[in-house]
Structure 1
Amino acid sequence: MENYVVAVIADAAESPGIYKRKYDSKELETFPTLLSSLRKNSKKLFRLPRTAALFLIDSLADIRLEQGTIPKHVKVLATLNFFAHGSYQAAIGEDSLLGLSQPTTSRCINITSEAIVEELARASIQFPTIPEEIQKTKREFFDLYGMPHVLGAVDGTHIAICEPPLNHPTAPGSLFYNRKGFYSINCQMIVNGHGRIISVNPNFPGSTHDAAIWSMSQIKRKLERDYVNGANTQWLLGDKGYPLQPWIMTPIIRPQGVAENTYNRCHANARNVVEMCYGRLKNKFRCLHRHRTLHYTPPTVAKIIIACCVLHNMFIDVLSGFFFFFIFVPKHAIGRLTISSFDGLVLLTCMFCQTAMQTAMITVMWTVMMTMMRC
């Protein structure tokens, strides 16, 4: 979802041959107007509605995005475009509306990915910890799948990378060669009943088994600690590759009788939410797809994975009708949001509201926030 919008001129669609253009002050000042010309192509190019893309640009405050001659919105949208398509950097940069060199595109991707991870990941990807959040998560899972006391579904997925150096002192390339026959990072994710990612761990090479990653995860230690303290009615759902523990439920290998077969059927139906999440994540952000190998070092790939997870959650929040201003905007960015940003955000959110009451509540919250900004 990033790097595309540098010269989103109104006549750009009619003049696709223009590229490697210079950016003057008039174009930069009218960027929101120019971006509105992508009404039909925003999701295709960046995998985000255009208002959400504008909101993302406003909310990122990394100083490196403001430095240099490349405008901030160009850096962010170039990265979004790379996330969405997973093309080579040269092809992304030489787009007719961008005109960026390959090294510049690479720097944009690195800077923007780091900014998303540092500023938005902690607020966006949160495992439920307080009693109210835990009960809400359990209730949602039960209402959707009929499985009681479930906090989420856990599984690992392989993100393809280029062959790392074989002579690396601490992480030789052979560690990243997985059982499927390619180099990868084995990323463990936990999702809730709606497919929203509530935990992501992209720090293990492809040869590491899912159960080994789970045994070293912070979530496992937290659930174990909670169980010792008396919270014995909360667990995750895992496949048969995970060990059966009081805080993680796995399918019965050889079910006998109606009860065990019913349990396996309900378990498979509920745990499938994490598989669907992987499918949506990789189809939306093609850079994570098996056939779009990431040509980066493992630490950089980990940042790209987390950034895509943040954007995945943002998209789910928009479709759910949540007023994600209160979720994603850092405190230091509140004063930097423009009136047009708020107007577009409210209109976007109201489009997805299911009832007039939801629309009225969001309108009231928007009015309060605008009053606070004018004071």
Structure 2
Amino acid sequence: MTVATVRRHQVLQYLGELEQNIAENDEAIAHLLHNGRPRRQRRRYWIRPWITRRTQYGYFDRLMKELETEDVFKKLAITLRYLATGESYTSLMYGFRVPHNTISLLIREVCESIIAEYANEVIACPTTTDEWQQIAEQFKNRWNLDHVIGALDGKHIAIKCPRNGGSLYNYKGFHSLIFMGLVDADYKFIWVDVGANGSASDATVFNNSELKDVTKNQNIGFPEADPLPNDNRNIPYFIVGDDAFPLRTWLMKPFARRTLTNEERIFNY
């Protein structure tokens, strides 16, 4: 049965009820004129039948919820496809039959919703000494490296050059944003920083980050310095990074690759 047929049936039913009510009112008026007082009518319906079908045919309860559900699933499907494959908006437009300018807006909207809902659950930076100590134990058991509380590095994500971006986002022949992350021994992110321009170095991004500030000020709950195995000197716990980062008591990096001694090669390994 089509929507038009249903609507026609509802209108006819409503007109029939209206005609019956008019007839009943005419009868009541005639009785009033004859007897001098109105006859009390017995109520036929507490709720008219066509109103009770609101959840079945009503715009809000049926059409609006249907559109909302389909719209959400379509947005999520397009975003997941984009994130998984890196397809262009034009390609997605023909695949999902959604205009590319709409896709450019909805992908950002869905990503922001995912971040708002799951960021604190998926990426939880430790804040207590016990939590950092657990990460250090993971590095010790898996990688045979003591006192490590995280591995730090940056990754360039290719983008189209923003309008009037100039060389600000240029990196080795392409434009990019920098994703910097701190991971535990199982490669799980425990802190991220996203959005620095591609021309910046990893050291610059880290020096401008909140992680650097709280690490330098020692107010993030790192364990107290204690000896390494088979030693009696206290060594602080530290983050490890590549040669692009500065050397600090809380940030360890390898020796430069030029003119290494055997001991330095062993240390880097």
Instruction: Classify the TM-score, shorter chain.
Output: 0.5 to 0.7
1:156 aligns with 154
1:163-211 deviations in whole A, cap 9, x for unaligned? 1122xxxxx4321112x11111122111111111111111311111111
Cα deviation, residue 67, structure 1: 7.6
Rg larger for: 2
1:261 aligns with 265
Contact 2:156 2:176 in 1 (8 A): yes
Structure-2 separation of matches of 1:146 and 1:67: 55
1:205-239 deviations in whole A, cap 9, x for unaligned? 11111111111111111111218998442211111
Question: What root-mean-square deviation, in Å, do the aligned CA atoms of Structure 1 and Structure 2 show?
Answer: 2.6
Contact 2:168 2:198 in 1 (8 A): yes
1:249-308 deviations in whole A, cap 9, x for unaligned? 0112254344x332210xxxxxxxxxxxxxxxxxxxxxxxxxxxxxxxxxxxxxxxxxxx
Quick one: higher RCO (CA 8 Å, sep 6+), 1 or 2? 1
Structure-2 separation of matches of 1:102 and 1:239: 40
Structure-1 separation of matches of 2:76 and 2:109: 9
1:116 aligns with 2:114: yes
Contact 1:187 1:202 in 2 (8 A): yes
Matches for 1:192-211 after TM superposition, within 5 Å = 192-211=184-203
TM-score, normalised by the number of residues in structure 1 = 0.47
What SS does the corresponding residue of 1:262 show, helix, strand or coil?
Answer: helix
Contact 2:169 2:198 in 1 (8 A): yes
| Percent identity for Structure 1 against Structure 2 | 29
Code of the aligned partner of 1:103: N
Structure-2 separation of matches of 1:115 and 1:91: 24
1:246 aligns with 249
Note closer, same or farther for the CA distance 1:251–1:75 as it changes in structure 2 (3 Å cut).
Answer: same
Note closer, same or farther for the CA distance 1:257–1:90 as it changes in structure 2 (3 Å cut).
Answer: closer
Cα deviation, residue 115, structure 1: 0.1
1:77 aligns with 77
Structure-1 separation of matches of 2:220 and 2:121: 28
Q: How many aligned residue pairs are there?
A: 193
Code of the aligned partner of 2:170: Y
Query: Which aligned runs of 4 or more in structure 1 are off by greater than 3 angstroms?
Result: 66-70, 227-232
Code of the aligned partner of 1:192: D
Cα deviation, residue 106, structure 1: 2.5
Matches for 1:91-240 after TM superposition, within 5 Å = 91-95=91-95, 98-166=96-164, 172-178=165-171, 180-226=172-218, 231-232=224-225, 233-240=236-243
